[in-house]
Chains A and B, each alone.
Chain A
Amino acid sequence: DVVMTQSPLSLSVTLGQPASISCRSRHSLVHSSGNTYLNWFHQRPGQSPRRLIYKVSNRDSGVPDRFSGSGSGTDFTLKISGVEAEDVGVYYCMQGTHWPPTFGQGTKVEIK
């Protein structure tokens, strides 16, 4: 299975300050179709995950533009330009290019 490694695993951020989460794979996530199936999800306490970013850098409908995804191949990043209180929770990357799909360990974001 493709192991997805997130860092850091925990992040304490002051309101309004930026945050960045890394997600790395040992294998390139570029599919034979040319697409890269790397998604980012946000899970608030007691809720189900919500997709924020799909195929590396595409923001889902309704997701604030303070969230952005970037990267290629094996190295990916989720950035929050200015953290707001509603952004607390756990962020997961997920690869769907290789079978079976796998998730990163999660990065817990809290407000300092």
Chain B
Amino acid sequence: EVHLVESGGGLAQPGRSLRLSCAASGFSFGDYAMHWVRQPPGKGLEWVSALSWNSGSMGYADSVRGRFTISRDNAKNSLYLQMNSLRPEDTAMYFCAKDTALRDIIDLSDIDFWGQGTPVTVSS
């Protein structure tokens, strides 16, 4: 059974940083592209970033490009999101999500499983 467990969320002041982690189990992590998707309180889903199986290709939403960095460690079955220069509008639940393919080039996406999410609040 696919299991994705996010951690690292919390309260951060504007301009500060947080690093999210996602621990994966129940599937061959290194064979799949992975995503981060966020959901502001009471609002809909917003895709944030994606990374190919071998970290060779990645993509970011315009709203986070240049501030957030996605990475993975296949040996540790883990996905990460380094979030710098945080803004109040980054406040959201952050979900780690699995793609259905490894995606040598990140130019399409097909998400199947989601983690439970980790909450991030950016406020002074």
B-contacting residues of A (Cβ < 8 Å)? 31, 37, 39, 41, 47-51, 54-55, 60, 90, 92, 94, 96-106
Contacts and interface: CB of A to CB of B under 8 A. Distances in A.
Given A92-B44, A99-B59, A48 B110 contact: no
Interface of B: 35, 44-47, 50, 59, 61, 95, 100, 106-117
Given A49-B45, A103-B44, A103-B45, A96 B116 contact: no
A102 to B, nearest CB: 7
Contacts, number: 60
Contact of B110 (A49, A50, A96, A103): A96
Given A100-B61, A103-B46, A51 B109 contact: no
> Ordered nearest first, which 5 A-B pairs have the shortest CB separation?
A96-B109, A101-B109, A48-B114, A103-B45, A106-B44
Nearest to B47: A101
B114 A103 contact: no
A60 B112 CA distance: 9
Nearest to A95: B109
B113 A51 contact: yes
A105 B44 contact: yes
19 contacts: A41-B45, A49-B95, A54-B112, A60-B112, A90-B44, A94-B45, A94-B111, A96-B108, A96-B111, A99-B109, A100-B61, A100-B109, A101-B50, A101-B111, A102-B47, A103-B44, A103-B46, A105-B44, A106-B44
A92 B115 CA distance: 17
A103 B47 contact: yes
Contacts of A96: 108-111
Contacts of A102: 47
